Structure 1
Amino acid sequence: MAMNRRTFSIAALAGAASTFISGGALRAASAPVSARNVVLAHGLFADGSCWLDVIARLQAAGMNCTAVQNPLTTLPEAAASVNRVLDRQDGPTVLVAHSFAGMVITETGIHKSVSSLVYVAARAPDAGEDYTALAKTYPAPPASAGVVFDGDEGRLSEDAFLRDFAADLPESRARTLYAVQEPFHKALLTGKTVNAAWRSKPSFYAVSTDDRTINPDLQRFMARRMGARTIELKASHVSLISHPDEISRLILEAAGRAI
């Protein structure tokens, strides 16, 4: 779909598909600092291309965007990949994560360039928290049964990818995304964050209500705990692809550019 700033603005003004919920006062400030930079981090079963639809909309709105290629090896290495990109930013930056990458932005969001955080159906642990133990306090999501390992490398089976990860996408699109999923290393899942950037930075959260990869009630708990500005979308785990307009608007709000 061809877009320019005018068409994006019209879409943003007309959009009413999602409902904003007050999760509490924004951390650190009543309103986010104005930013023109956006850094986006992907999670498991994906690569940086999962952000393409959102990036196109943000660029049409005048934002400078960079998608990080998360190595999916260890949490420290994933954090280092984000910090290298943050070091290259020339001013306030919105740091965005999908899924597992919420661990990464929770760790790296203390970077001096980061003005706000956006979590898209993402993990949001506290400092030193055992996320796996936290997740086990909620019913297991169906996708967890679809993870398969080849030695130390894990990936999502095609059936689970189509049914539980990207259920609200056209099958042809979901199969394309399945073909580019990046395997993750078992060591990645053992990492714990040292920092909890959401305790000091304004935070935003997009809950996927039909998520079969991270329990929606767990998402709501994490959003509420961080006092995030929260939206709920009737979406699968990949709301950044099935609902790019809503996710882009949330990021623009986090950049102090709400329309």
Structure 2
Amino acid sequence: MMVISRRQFSFLGAGAAAATLPGAPAARAATRGRRAAVRNVVLVHGAYADGSSWAQVIPFLQAAGLNVIAVQNPLTSLADDVAATDFALARQDGPTVLVAHSYGGTVISQAGLSPKVTGLVYVAARAPEAGGDFTALSARFPTPPVNSDLITKNGFKFLSRAAFLRDFANGVPRKQALELYAAQGPLSTAPPTTSVAAWHEKPSWYVVSKDDRTINPELERFMAKRMNATTTEVAAGHLSLVTHPEVIGRVILQATANS
């Protein structure tokens, strides 16, 4: 079951309600009607994954008439991943909503200041403060189960098969989870520290995975509250974009209509 919290409004009435949301900048409400409609979405995957993790969400967005690009992050450094996202944004011909899963939230927090970006959507994602230490922040919450089988080798970290299936892809049918495991992208161990936090400047949405075993759900709620994001909770594991693509797609549509 999906639960929408903090800012409450229906999808059909979102455009009218956005101007009255608590804390919404008056200037944004006043100018929204003069902006071009958002028709572009850039999807940013996280660690231990690749762009194919968005395969269930992409057709939902395309059916709604949106232009969609899924970035292929090299995961070799934050700078490299931001560069890949910047390149995807440069290919868009107008206003764009930037969406991220997991570690990808760090990427869009850095890249999201692009003038093309009108809104940010975080899906069970990191949402760091500028210069923040995500590892230190995570330590304030119970350690997620996935960390027990995290492997580090040659400057990268990745998940064992057991951890991937049990914790990272919990709730995903086994056959599909094995396919995703085969496409796992190892993440550089270099600290991914952002110099900015775009969510301070752009309207943001956050989807909390209530059964997440990779990022603690309470940490997700903390980050969503800190950024004053429009928040949705879904009864899903870390890969809600795979198990609940229509829920994720509707939140993205909400962002395109209200940013």
TM over 0.5, yes or no?
yes
Which sections of structure 2, spanning at least 5 residues, go unmatched? 8-20
Partners of 1:125 and 1:196 within 8 A in 2: yes
Q: How does 1:95-114 map to 2 (within 5 A)?
A: 95-114=98-117
1:4 aligns with none
The structural deviation recorded for 1:176 is 0.7
Question: 1:105-144 alignment to 2 at 5 Å?
Answer: 105-144=108-147
Q: Give the SS at the match of 1:207.
A: strand
Query: 1:204 is aligned with what amino acid?
Result: W
| 2:216 match | 215
Q: Following TM superposition, by how much is the alpha carbon of 1:213 offset from its aligned partner in structure 2, in angstroms?
A: 0.2
Deviations 1:21-49, CA, capped at 9 Å, x for gaps: 11684654459763110000000110000
SS at match of 2:56: helix
1:194 aligns with 2:202: no
Q: Does the 8 A contact of 1:36 with 1:92 survive in 2?
A: yes
- One-letter amino acid matched to 2:95: P
Kindly tell me: are residues 215 and 27 of structure 1, through their superposed partners in 2, closer, same or farther at Cα, counting changes over 3 Å? farther
Q: Secondary structure at the match of 1:224?
A: helix
Partner letter of residue 67 of structure 1? A
Matches within 5 A, 1:61-100: 61-100=64-103
Greater relative CO (CA pairs within 8 A, separation 6+): 1
**C-alpha offsets along residues 99-146 of structure 1, whole Å, 9 cap, x if unaligned?**
001000000100010000000000001111111111110011010111
Please state if 1:18 is matched with 2:2: yes
Equivalences for residues 44-59 of structure 1 within 5 A: 44-59=47-62
Percent of pairs with identical residues? 50
1:147 positional shift:
1.0
| Equivalent position SS for 2:99 | strand
Question: Partner residue of 2:251?
Answer: 250
Q: Secondary structure of the equivalent of 1:118?
A: strand
Q: What letter corresponds to residue 217 of structure 1 in structure 2?
A: E
Do the aligned residues in 2 keep the contact of 1:27 with 1:203 (CA within 8 Å)? Answer: no
Q: Under a length normalisation based on structure 1, what TM-score does the superposition of the two structures give?
A: 0.89
Shift of 1:183: 1.4
1:24-35 superposed matches below 5 A: 25=22, 28=25, 29=28, 34-35=37-38
SS in 2 for 1:247: helix
SS in 1 for 2:232: strand
| Cα separation, 1, equivalents of 2:69 and 2:48 | 19
For 1:115 and 1:26, the matched residues in 2 are separated by 17
- 1:18 maps to a residue whose letter is M
Distance in 2 between residues matched to 1:71 and 1:230, nearest whole Å: 29
Q: Is it true that 1:174 corresponds to 2:177 in the alignment?
A: yes
Matching residue of 1:14? none
How far, CA to CA, are the matches of 1:186 and 1:143 in structure 2?
Answer: 16
- Please report the TM-score for the alignment, with normalisation by the length of structure 2: 0.89
**Secondary structure class of the residue paired with 1:83:** helix
Uncovered stretches (5+) of structure 1, i.e. residues with no partner: 1-16
Distance between the aligned counterparts of 2:80 and 2:68, measured in 1? 21
Distance in 1 between residues matched to 2:23 and 2:38, nearest whole Å: 17
Rounded Cα–Cα distance in structure 2 between residues aligned with 1:149 and 1:201? 35
Question: Aligned partners of 2:48 and 2:77: how far apart in 1?
Answer: 15
Give, in angstroms, the shift of residue 191 of structure 1.
2.1
How many equivalent residue pairs? 240
- 1:196-226 CA-to-partner distances (Å, cap 9, x unmatched) read 1101101000000000000000000000010
Contact map agreement 1:27 1:227 (CA 8 A) in 2: no
